[in-house]
């Protein structure tokens, strides 16, 4: 039987599940951002977001993500997930590329910061077309860099 994938509107139950099963690197990034725990990070991110969604396989949430518009035509893009995303990599990659296209219809660019030691996320962001600023900020002893994904109208 083929897994049924979907992107749905975020629910607090999704956030609770993801928070309790979050990837170690995502937990670190939440703490580096000043959140006490992963569920608090998700709730804070969702509260600031224009919209938030859940990528799921059947009834199981794999990751949550959202967009926080800025005043310059772009948005802060965030995503927090579980280790289970790795077991659904092909569909996650396909859907994230499609969703990037959806977001880029609304924004000139997407941005955020990422811990450069989080190799999995850095590879995924590069695959989505992210470019990284050279400046590095050390947060909790780890290097963080800002990334941008710009809309290409051509």
**Tens of pLDDT along 44-84?**
999 999 999 999 999 999 999 999 999 999 999 999 999 99
Q: Is 111:147 a contact under the CB 8 Å cutoff?
A: yes
Topology of the domain covering 5-150: Aminopeptidase (3.40.630)
Q: What is the domain partition of the chain in residue ranges? A: 5-150
Helix axes 89-104, 119-127, angle to 10 degrees: 50
Our CA angle for 4, 10, 16, nearest 5°, is: 95
Measured between alpha carbons, how far apart are the two ends of the chain, in Å?
Answer: 40
Split at pLDDT 50, 70, 90, the class of 2 is low
Residue 154 pLDDT greater than 80, yes or no: no
Tell me what pLDDT residue 153 has.
60
Q: What is the mean pLDDT of the chain?
A: 94
Model pLDDT for residues 87-137, shown as the tens digit of each residue: 999 999 999 999 999 999 999 999 999 999 999 999 999 999 999 999 999
């Amino acid at each position: 039987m083929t897994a049924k994938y979907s992107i749905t509107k975020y629910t607090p139950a999704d956030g609770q599940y993801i928070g309790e099963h979050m990837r170690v690197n995502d937990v670190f990034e939440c703490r580096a951002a000043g959140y006490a725990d992963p569920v608090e990070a998700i709730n804070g991110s969702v509260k600031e977001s224009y919209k938030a969604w859940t990528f799921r396989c059947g009834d199981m949430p794999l990751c949550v993500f959202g967009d926080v518009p800025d005043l310059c035509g772009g948005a802060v893009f965030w995503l927090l997930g579980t280790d289970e995303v790795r077991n659904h990599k092909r569909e996650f990659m396909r859907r994230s590329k499609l969703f990037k296209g959806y977001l880029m219809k609304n924004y000139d660019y997407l941005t955020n910061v990422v811990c450069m030691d989080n190799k999995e996320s850095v590879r995924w962001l590069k695959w989505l077309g992210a470019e990284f600023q050279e400046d590095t900020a050390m947060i909790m002893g780890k290097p963080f860099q800002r990334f941008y994904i710009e809309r290409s109208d051509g």
